[in-house]
Structure 1
Amino acid sequence: MSIIRDRKLAPLGQQKINWVKNYMPVLNYLKNELLGEKPLSGKKITMSIHLEAKTAYLALILRDLGAEVAVTGSNPLSTQDEIAAALVEEGLEVFAWHGATPSEYEEHLIKALEIKPDIIIDDGGDLVHILHHVRPDLALNVIGGAEETTTGVHRLRILEKKNALKFPMIAVNDALTKHMFDNRYGTGESSLTALMATTNLLIAGKNLVVAGYGWCGKGVAQKARGLGARVIVTEVNPIRALEAYMDGFEVTDSLTAAKIGDIFITVTGCKDVFRGRHFEVMKNGAILANAGHFNVEINLDELKAMAVEIREVRPKVTGYILPDGRQLNVIAEGRLVNLAAGQGHPAEIIDLSFSLQLLAVLYLLEKHDELLPKVYNLPNELDEKVALYKLKSLNIEIDKLTDDQKEYLFG
Structure 2
Amino acid sequence: MSELPKHDVKDKALSAQGVRRIEWAERNMPVLRQVRERFAKERPFEGIRFAACMHMTTETAVLLRTLKAGGAELAACASNPLSTQDDTVAALVAEYGISVFAVNGIDRDGYYRHINSALDINPDFVFDDGCDLVNTVHTARTELLESIKGGCEETTTGVVRLRQMADGAALKFPMVAVNDTDTKHMFDNRYGTGQSSLDAIMRATNLLFAGQTVVVAGFGYCGQGVAQRAAGLGASVVVTEVDPTKALDALMQGYRVLPMAEAARIGDVFVTVTSNRGVLRKEHFEVMKDGAILSNAGHFDVEVDVAGLEAMSVEKRSRIRHQTDEYVMADGRRLLLVAEGRLVNLGAAEGHPASVMDMSFADQALTAEWLTANHASLEPRVYEVPTEIDKNVARLKLDSMGVSIDSITEDQNTYMNSWEYGS
> TM-score, normalized by length of structure 1?
0.99
> In the alignment, which residue of structure 1 is the partner of 2:52?
47
Number of the residue aligned with 1:157: 163
Partner of 2:381: 374
Aligned to 2:15: 10
In 1, Cα distance between equivalents of 2:35 and 2:408: 25
What is the match of residue 300 of structure 1?
Answer: 306
- Tell me how far 1:172 sits from its aligned partner: 0.2
Q: Who is 1:80 aligned against? A: 85
Please give the alpha-carbon distance, in whole angstroms, between the structure 2 residues aligned to 1:59 and 1:84: 11
Q: CA deviation at 1:76?
A: 1.1
Cα offset for 1:138?
Answer: 2.5
> What RMSD in Å do the two structures reach over aligned CA positions?
0.7
1:73 counterpart letter in structure 2: A
Alignment check: 8 A CA contact 2:30 2:397 kept: yes
What is the CA distance between 1:401 and its match in structure 2?
A: 1.0
Query: Deviations 1:45-95 (Å, cap 9, x if unpaired)?
Result: 111110010001111111111000111110111111111100111211111
- SS of corresponding position for 1:401: coil
Instruction: State the Cα distance separating 1:385 from its structure 2 match.
Output: 0.3
Q: Aligned equivalents of 2:150 and 2:413: distance in 1?
A: 34
Pairing of 1:277-316 with structure 2 (within 5 A): 277-312=283-318, 313-316=320-323
State how far apart, in whole Å, the 1-side matches of 2:207 and 2:176 are: 40
1:71 aligns with 2:85: no
Q: Displacement, 1:137?
A: 1.2
Counterpart of 1:137 in structure 2 is 143
One-letter amino acid of the structure 2 residue matched with residue 17 of structure 1: I
Question: May I ask how many residue pairs the two structures share in their alignment?
Answer: 411
CA distance in 1, matches of 2:20, 2:139: 38
Matched ranges for 1:4-403 at <5 A = 4-89=9-94, 90-312=96-318, 313-403=320-410
Note if contact 2:39-2:69 (Cα within 8 Å) is conserved in structure 1.
Answer: no
What is the DSSP-based 3-state SS (H/G/I as helix, E as strand, rest coil) of the residue aligned with 2:41?
Answer: coil
Contact 2:115 2:133 in 1 (8 A): yes
Structure 2 length normalisation: TM-score? 0.96
Paired with 1:373 and 1:192, the residues of 2 have a C-alpha distance of: 38
> Which moves more between the two structures, 395-404 or 279-288?
395-404
Q: Distance in 1 between matches of 2:144 and 2:20?
A: 34
Report if the CA contact (8 A) 1:51-1:79 is conserved: yes
Name the CA distance, whole Å, in 2 between partners of 1:55 and 1:48: 10
Please report how far the alpha carbon of residue 34 of structure 1 lies from its aligned counterpart in structure 2 after TM superposition.
Answer: 2.6
Partner of 1:231, secondary structure, is: strand
The residue that corresponds to 2:421 in the other structure is none
The CA distance in 1 between the partners of 2:415 and 2:240, in whole Å, is 43
Percent of aligned pairs sharing the same letter: 50
Runs of 4+ in 1 over 6 A off after TM superposition: none
Give the Cα separation in 1 of the matches to 2:72 and 2:151. Answer: 14
Corresponding letter in the other structure for 1:337? V
Structure 2 unpaired stretches of 5+: 1-5, 419-423
1:32 deviation in Å?
A: 1.7
How far is 1:188 from its partner? 0.1
